[in-house]
Structure 1
Amino acid sequence: MKQIIDFIPLILFFVVYKMDPRTVSLGANDFELGGPFSATLVLMVTSVLVYGSLYLKNRALEKSHVVTLAAVMLFGGMTLTFHDEAFLKWKTPIVNWIFAVAFLGSQFIGEKTLLERMMGHALTLPDNIWLKMNISWVIFFILLGAANLFVAFTFHDIWVDFKVFGSLILTFLFVIGQFLVISKHIQTEEK
């Protein structure tokens, strides 16, 4: 359920982005709905609502939520201020690269890698496997960020489709690959 909630702003962004632009009247005010700029505003508002609700419920946000919300507000704000969607196109690659740096930095800070901190309660793996898996996430986030950047500025017509569905499919396939690799190394406790 938590993962679905995280996708609400992205799904609404996608829907509004793909809409034909139209004017919507609310009271005495008219608003443009459809296209990149109204979709950016929807992304920003729904992100605040979703992460604000999570914060009120849990009294904390995960670090990934904080990074994502900050990036949405920063790049979304610049997109709307300068009326240039190029700023929004940079959000996903930069967030991916921030995650890559976090995974890489975790190898040098603390006793466990970031992946082991996140999944160590559920899996018991040898240290060298945790390290290899962590490095593979670093490489994945670097490549995913580069792919998003390439598509955003080379294939303008499909960048939103790739951002929403391509990134999701690539992440899903990567996680399946990770599972196949770690399934050989899972240590079970002997009774």
Structure 2
Amino acid sequence: MDQPKTINPILKQVLELGPPLLFFVIYLRIRDDVFTFGGTEYSGFIVATLVFVPILLIAMGALWMLTGQLSRMQIFTAFMVIFFGGLTAWFNDERFFKMKTTIVYGFFATILSIGLLRGQSYLAYVMSEMIPMKHEGWMLLTRRLTVFFIVLAVANELVWRTMSTDAWVKIETFGFPALMFLFLWSQIVALERFTEIDESE
């Protein structure tokens, strides 16, 4: 199996985090504008969504060219963005793109749950090389992350259904990623006792 190519970590972060940040900036610039295409009016949010799709694909293409690989999560997220971005434009309804986040988190929770029912941690399958940890630790982290994904899915539904589009964009761009980072960081610290040390070094 080909080893992933090394890449400057700052450039990697720019390619991964840049597209959603650009979406946020573009949305802020055109959120109050109305655009007419083919006799149909589209809000600034929908136009920002359509611009976001090629930006994400270009960033992912660059990441693949530089590293030689893309994670399953990145590929799935890109598919969901394209699919729900297309529905948003086709039906001229911003709710489709807002629901995408709920479905993504719900999908991840479902996949992890299937693994748990089989006594397996699919999370370990994806991340074991980055975090060497005992099976018990992976199972515990997977259970907690499954619940966390469910909480995020419910939270997204509450946010987009009860708050303004401005609030949803800000929470989607900064709030949910920050919560995910804090959760994973706290769990790595809490599950340190399950970490396996390479005694050969």
Normalised TM-score (structure 2): 0.79
Cα deviation, 1:30-84, whole Å, max 9, x if unaligned, reads xx99820121012111112112223344454321111111111111111111111
Matched residue type, 1:70: F
Q: Is the 8 A contact 2:49 2:85 kept in 1?
A: yes
Q: Give the counterpart letter for 2:149 in structure 1.
A: F
2:181, 2:82 → 1: CA distance?
A: 26
Contact between 1:19 and 1:34, CA under 8 Å: does it hold in 2?
Answer: no
Worse-matched range after superposition: 71-80 or 1-10: 1-10
Structure 2 SS opposite 1:17: helix
Residue 27 of structure 1 corresponds to which residue in structure 2? none
CA contact (8 A) 1:18 1:34 kept: no
Q: Tell me how far apart the structure 2 counterparts of residues 138 and 84 of structure 1 sit (CA, whole Å).
A: 30
Against the structure 1 CA distance between its residues 184 and 85, is the aligned structure 2 distance closer, same or farther, given a 3 Å change threshold?
Answer: same
SS of 1:125's equivalent in the other structure is coil
Q: Determine the structure 1 residue equivalent to 2:60.
A: 51
Alpha-carbon distance in structure 2 between the residues aligned to 1:118 and 1:182: 17
Residue equivalent to 2:20: 10
Aligned CA RMSD, in angstroms, stands at 2.6
Given the two structures, how large is their TM-score scaled by the length of structure 1?
Answer: 0.83
1:113 maps to which residue? 121
| Count of aligned pairs between the two proteins | 183
66, 81, 90: which one aligns with 2:75: 66
Question: Does residue 126 of structure 1 match 2:134?
Answer: yes
Q: Which is worse superposed, 86-95 or 117-126? A: 117-126
* Alignment match of 2:153 (pick from 141, 145, 156): 145
Structure 1 position 134, deviation (Å): 0.7
Matched residues, percent identical?
31
Question: Deviation of residue 112 (structure 1)?
Answer: 5.0
Judging changes above 3 Å, is the alpha-carbon distance between structure 1 residues 125 and 19 closer, same or farther for their aligned structure 2 residues? Answer: same
